[in-house]
Chain A
Amino acid sequence: MNHLLRHALQGTTLLLFTVCAACVQEPQLADTPENNLEALWRIIDEHYCFLSYKKQAIGLDWDEVHTRYRARLNEKMSSTQLFEVLAEMLSELRDGHVNLYAAHDVARNWSWYEDYPTNFSQELQDAYLGTDYRIASGVKYRILPDNIGYLAVSTFQSSIGEGNLSEVLHYLRTCDGLIVDVRNNGGGDLTMAERLAQRFTNEKLHVGFICHKTGTGHDAFSEPEAEYLEPADGVRWQKQAIVLTNRQCYSATNTFVRDVRECPNVTVLGDQTGGGSGLPFSSELPNGWSVRFSACPMFDKEMCHIEFGIAPDTLVLLTDEDKARGHDTLIETARKIIAKNEKKELPGKNRSRELRGKE
Chain B
Amino acid sequence: MKYAARCTLIALCCAAGNIAAQEAPPRTSAHVIGIGGANHLDTYLSPLNYTGPQFHYLHESLRPTSLFDGKVSFQSITHVEGSVTKNRPEKADDLGGSLSFDAAWHYHLLTDRPLEGFRLMLGPQIGGTLGFLYNTRNGNNPAQATAEVHLSASVAALYGFHRWGHRFTLREQLDLPLLGAMFSPAYGQSYYELFSLGHTDHNVRLTTPFNAPSLRSLLTFDFPVRNNTFRIGYLAEIRQSHINHIKRHSYTHAVLIGWVRHFTLLPHRQAMSRGCVF
Mark A residues whose CB is within 8 Å of B.
1, 5, 8, 11-12, 15-16, 18-19, 22-26, 28, 31, 39, 43, 47, 49, 190-191, 210, 212-216, 220, 222, 225, 227, 279-284, 286-290, 292, 295-296
The answer on a CB contact under 8 Å between B197 and A210 is: yes
**A-chain residues with CB within 8 Å of residue B138 when the two chains form the complex:** 281-282
On chain B, the residues within 8 Å of A49 by CB distance are 188
- Which residues of chain A come closer than 8 Å to B197, judged between CB atoms? 210, 225, 227
B250 closest partner in A (C-beta): A24
> Told that A15-B176, A39-B47 touch, could you supply 4 new A-B pairs with CB distance under 8 A?
A19-B215, A215-B245, A281-B139, A282-B140
The answer to whether A284 touches B215, judged by C-beta atoms less than 8 angstroms apart, is no
Query: How far apart are the CA atoms of A281 and B47 in the complex, in Å?
Result: 13
- Mask, B41-53, CB within 8 Å of A = 1, is 1010111110000
Minimum Cβ distance to chain B for residue A191 (Å): 6
Contact between A24 and B209, CB atoms less than 8 A apart: no
| Residue interface mask B18-43, A partner, CB < 8 A = 1 | 00000000000000000000000101
Q: In the bound complex, do residue B110 and residue A212 qualify as a contact, i.e. CB atoms below 8 Å apart?
A: no
Chain A interface mostly helix, strand, loop or mixed? Answer: mixed
- Report A-chain residues with C-beta under 8 Å of the C-beta of B196: 190-191
Given A15-B209, A215-B245 in contact, is the A288-B87 Cβ separation under 8 Å?
A: yes
A291 CB → nearest B CB, Å: 10
Contact: B209 with A222, CB < 8 Å?
Answer: no
Contact A19 B213 (CB under 8 A): yes
Q: In the complex, what residues of A have CB within 8 A of residue B161's CB?
A: none
| With known contacts A19-B215, A24-B241, A26-B43, A222–B91 Cβ distance under 8 A | no
A168 to B229, CA, bound (A): 68
Check B193 against A296 for contact (C-beta < 8 Å). Answer: yes
Which residues of chain B have a CB within 8 Å of any CB of chain A? 41, 43, 45-49, 87-92, 109-110, 120, 122, 135, 137-142, 153, 155, 174, 176, 178, 186-190, 192-193, 196-197, 199, 201, 209-210, 213-215, 238, 240-242, 244-245, 247-249
What residues of A have a CB within 8 angstroms of the CB of B140 in the complex? Answer: 279-282, 295-296
A-B contact count (CB 8 A): 148
Asked if A212 contacts B187 (CB within 8 A), the reply is: yes
- CB neighbours (8 Å) of B47 from chain A are 26, 39, 43, 283-284
- The reply to whether B87 and A284 form a contact with Cβ atoms under 8 Å apart is yes
Which of A22, A210, A212, A288 makes the CB contact (< 8 A) with B91? Answer: A288
Q: Which one of A18, A213, A215, A288 lies within 8 Å of B89 (CB-CB)?
A: A288
CB pair A18–B210 under 8 Å, yes or no, is yes
Contact yes or no, B174 A12, CB < 8 A? yes
Q: Nearest CB to that of B189 among chain A residues?
A: A212
Q: Give the chain A neighbours of B209 by CB distance below 8 A.
A: 15, 18-19, 22
Contact A225 B241 (CB under 8 A): no
Q: Which residues of A contact B249 (CB under 8 A)?
A: 23-25
**Docked-complex contact B188 and A24, CB < 8 angstroms:** no
Given the complex of chains A and B, what is the CA–CA distance between A290 and B47 in angstroms?
11
Q: How far is the CB of B22 from chain A (nearest CB, A)?
A: 31
Q: Bound complex: CA of A1 vs CA of B176, how far in Å?
A: 22
Q: Hey, which chain A residues are within 8 Å of B88, CB to CB?
A: 28, 31, 286, 288
Instruction: Report B148 CB to chain A, min CB distance, Å.
Output: 15
Q: How far does the Cβ of B40 sit from chain A's closest Cβ, in whole Å? A: 11
B11 to chain A, nearest CB (A): 47
- Cα A281 to Cα B187 with chains together (Å): 12
Q: Decide if B110 touches A225 in the complex (CB within 8 Å).
A: no
**B residues less than 8 Å from A222 (CB atoms):** 186, 189, 201
Q: How far is the CA of A281 from the CA of B135 in the complex (A)?
A: 12
A19 pairs with B193, CB closer than 8 A: no
